[in-house]
Amino acid sequence: MRIAVSSDMDEPVARCLVEELRSRGHEVLTHGALRPGADPQWAACSEAAAREVADGTADQAVVCCWTGTGASIAANKVPGVRAALCTDAYTADGARRWNDANVLALSLRLTSGPLLKEILDAWFAAEASGDTDDRENVAHVGRLDLGRTAP
The one catalytic residue among 45, 64, 65, 86: 65
Q: How far apart are CA 95 and CA 131, in angstroms?
A: 14
**Residue 62 DSSP label:** E
- Annotated catalytic, 86? no
Contact 36, 24 (CB under 8 A): no
Residues 6+ away with beta carbon under 8 Å from 115 = 88
Strands 103-107, 2-7: pairing is unpaired
Which residues are the active-site residues? 65
